[in-house]
Structure 1
Amino acid sequence: MAAPSRCNHLIMFDSSLMIYLYGGQVIFWENDYQEQFLFVSRKASFKPPKAIRGGIHICFPQFGSHGLLEQHGFARNRIWSVDENPPPFPATTSNCHIDLILKQSLEDLKIWPHRYEFRLRVALSPTGDLMLTSRIKNINEDGKPFKFRFSYQTYFLVSDISEVRVEGLETLDYLDNLQNGERRTEQGDTVVFESEVDKVYLSAPPKIVIIDHDKKRTFELRKEGLPDVVVWNPWDKRAKTIPDFGEEEYRCMLCVGAAQVEKPITFRPGEEWQSRQEISVVPSSYSSGHPDPEIVHRI
């Protein structure tokens, strides 16, 4: 697959990232053993207007398909810029980061008539954790508020979806997008995968874990400012209908991301909204958020 030339890298002694300006999208995240943590389809297109199938999508100003906007909004298929002079961000554990910015174009104003500044900081911690911080400011000059929905749609690379489970979502209510958004309650002790899944879990805890038994690896996802969690896998039949997705690739990926879907965010001109998603990789068997006591280091 041909990738665009406009990309940026973050490199720490034990981890590296690749971020594309197209979509403001993290595509590659690996450790010093060249183990890749994010899924990217072999059929992904890196050319506008399609979003890149994989990595971490920035879904804004909507999640899903509504009205004139593209599915999951336009942020994931616009060209972002490097923000050379960002305002101060909250203190982090690393100064290894890149700042991006997205502003509305004249074409965007025709389909979503609001002015904004979207700043995104992508950072690596000294231990290799991946951190994304978003700041969206309403700069409307007409005094009008605007509302939006948001998600960090994260494509995790897994060994075999049938051997993966997610903990932290049990007993929660969720919106089932396979049943027209019907509200249901998770019944299992843990979330496992045996068929197509497209759910939005509501009022989720600040930390959830994705456990990959075959790789003996766990992703720990922490979130701030985002109450919901999106979970998606197309399974076999749906995968065959997606042009930029391999028929068997559903076996090695799982989308999980912090989100604000059920209730849109609304704020007035001059106000700013902020969210954060942080992911750690723990080389252990994980249960209910507690790592194997004999393996306490992180990749």
Structure 2
Amino acid sequence: MDHSQRSAVEISKDENGVTQVLLQSPRGASVRISLHGGQVRSWKTERGEELLFTSSKANLKPPGGVRGGIPICFPQFGKRGSLEKHGFARNRIWMIDENPPPLPSADHSNKAFIDLILKSSDDDLKIWPHSFEFRIRVNLSVDGCLSLTSRIRNVNCKPFSFSFAYHTYFSVSDISEVRVEGLETLDYLDSLFNKERFTEQGDALTFESEVDRVYLGSRDTVAVFDHERKRTFVIRKEGLPDVVVWNPWEKKAKTIADLGDDEYKQMLCVDAAAIEKPIALKPGEEWTGRVELSLVASIQ
């Protein structure tokens, strides 16, 4: 079939009437993006296996955030000041960007991608008085790699700064069978200890209780090993110096309304992020932050 030889981009409406975009690779991998939050909601292998976790209790109706997939945290990560937790970008309805400026070194040959844009609204300016244009390209390669490239431009007449994260919920077989490599010897801020600074001592991060950390100045590649499923997520990032690692564990999970009591066992958030040192943009300046997610079979 000719269709199997090319990438596809399909635009439709979801059950709430929100526009969604389906990207499909020639080999059968797929990515689904909702314009609610500009959020990747699904990333599947060629065999149709879902790689991202979404809570069975997630509220999928705008304007609230959706617990699962890859929420975009901007202009802040966490909660401070009067802004809502993790900022407002993940709650807004984005637009398809019909005329995006070219990405440097972007190769469009047989790739499925979509460009989205979010501009500051009058309501946004009341709570965060800075004009911006936020463009994101979601790209699915022929071999099923998912990449997200964000470009944030200051169209203000004065400087502003922001923090940012791709708050990625990976689907795992059992959190106690997972390890993260690439964070060894790094300093981290521990939210369970009032953001106190510690240094990672282990060769790999494993999980037996709640974890909520921001690892600082990390390498550009981090790996998440899932022993039971014999697969590894590889996270490659540019322009994003930090890595958030979060799992609420049993006690905290029971306090989260849009998360099942036992669902913490099937999820792990590992975010490419810029948190410790906010990104500062002068008028007219633009920042780019990119993450590429790939899956490799492992024998661990």
Report the TM range for the smaller structure's normalisation: over 0.9
TM, length-normalised to structure 1: 0.93
The code of the aligned residue for 1:255 comes to C
Match of 2:249 in 1: 235
Q: 1: distance between equivalents of 2:64 and 2:95?
A: 18
Q: What displacement does 1:3 show?
A: 5.2
Match of 1:12 in 2: 25
Q: 2: distance between equivalents of 1:258 and 1:198?
A: 14
TM, length-normalised to structure 2: 0.92
Q: What displacement does 1:2 show?
A: 5.6
The code of the aligned residue for 1:128 comes to G
Q: 2: distance between equivalents of 1:170 and 1:260?
A: 19
Q: Which runs of structure 1 show a deviation greater than 2 angstroms over 4 or more consecutive aligned residues? A: 1-5, 90-95
Using the aligned pairs only, state the percent identity.
61
Q: Secondary structure at the match of 1:169?
A: coil
Checking the alignment, whether the CA contact within 8 Å between 1:165 and 1:193 is kept in structure 2 is yes
Q: Secondary structure at the match of 1:159?
A: coil
Q: 2: distance between equivalents of 1:90 and 1:125?
A: 17
Equivalent of residue 116 in structure 2, options 76, 100, 119: 100
Q: What displacement does 1:183 show?
A: 0.5
Equivalent of residue 113 in structure 1, options 129, 135, 148: 129
Q: Deviations over 1:15-45 (max 9, x none)?
A: 1010000010000110121111000001100
Equivalent of residue 49 in structure 2, options 32, 35, 39: 35
Q: Secondary structure at the match of 2:167?
A: strand
Q: Per the alignment, do residues 224 and 214 of structure 1 end up closer, same or farther by CA in structure 2, a change over 3 Å counting?
A: same
Match of 1:129 in 2: 145
Q: What displacement does 1:116 show?
A: 0.4
RMSD (Å) for aligned C-alpha atoms? 1.3
Q: Deviations over 1:46-72 (max 9, x none)?
A: 123320000001100001101111101
Match of 1:293 in 2: none
Unpaired runs of 5+ residues, structure 2, are 1-13
Equivalent of residue 296 in structure 2, options 271, 282, 292: 282
Q: Secondary structure at the match of 1:56?
A: coil
Q: Deviations over 1:259-280 (max 9, x none)?
A: 0000001111111000100011
Q: What displacement does 1:93 show?
A: 4.5
Q: 2: distance between equivalents of 1:131 and 1:91?
A: 14
Checking the alignment, whether the CA contact within 8 Å between 1:59 and 1:152 is kept in structure 2 is yes
Q: 2: distance between equivalents of 1:68 and 1:4?
A: 30
Task: Kindly report which structure 2 residues correspond to 1:150-299, keeping only aligned pairs within 5 A, or say none.
Answer: 150-285=164-299
Aligned residues: 284
Checking the alignment, whether the CA contact within 8 Å between 1:173 and 1:183 is kept in structure 2 is yes
The code of the aligned residue for 2:121 comes to S
Of stretches 45-54 and 119-128 in structure 1, the one that deviates more from structure 2 is 45-54
Of stretches 58-67 and 3-12 in structure 1, the one that deviates more from structure 2 is 3-12
